[in-house]
């Protein structure tokens, strides 16, 4: 009778299992990180699109407001007037175009609209500048 060689046994060794689990863990880690990054960027793009929408909405309405009413006092009623979500902070800064010039004509204002938002502990802002021209 011939003796059987123990090394000829075709089973799964402990080393094969350790290598397979290591490769699987590495693969799941890489895929999980990619999935997180795609979700993060998708949310940031979505929030930026909303910020752009709010700023354009405000800018279009500023064209309809009389020149004399476009002041920094618009900040007081900004959220209520434009139905801005609580997770967004909106502000308007108005300055005269010719503030350094001594000429008495006041026909241009620079309006800066800034929308700030926070996503995953990161604060971002979208800023839009426009000119408001006095109608004659």
> Which is more confidently placed, 35 or 121?
35
Total-model pTM: 0.73
For residue 85, is pLDDT > 70?
yes
pLDDT tens-digit profile of 15-60? 889 999 999 999 999 999 999 999 989 989 999 999 999 999 999 9
**Sign (positive or negative) of CA dihedral 76, 93, 112, 91:** negative
Structure-derived torsion over alpha carbons of residues 54, 55, 56, 62, reported in degrees to the nearest 10 = 110
Task: Return the percentage of the chain with pLDDT > 90, whole number.
Answer: 46
């Amino acid at each position: 009778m011939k003796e059987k060689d123990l090394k000829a046994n075709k089973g799964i060794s402990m080393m094969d299992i350790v290598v397979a689990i290591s490769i699987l863990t590495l693969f799941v880690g890489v895929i999980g990180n990619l999935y997180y990054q795609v979700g993060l960027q998708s949310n940031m793009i979505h929030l930026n699109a909303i910020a752009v929408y709010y700023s354009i909405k405000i800018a279009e309405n500023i064209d309809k407001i009389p020149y004399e009413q476009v002041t920094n006092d618009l900040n007081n009623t900004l959220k209520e007037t434009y139905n801005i979500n609580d997770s967004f902070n909106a502000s308007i800064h108005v300055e005269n175009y010719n503030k350094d010039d001594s000429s008495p004509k006041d026909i241009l204002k620079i309006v800066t609209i800034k929308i700030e938002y926070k996503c995953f502990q990161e604060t971002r802002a979208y800023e839009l500048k426009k000119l408001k021209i006095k109608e004659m």
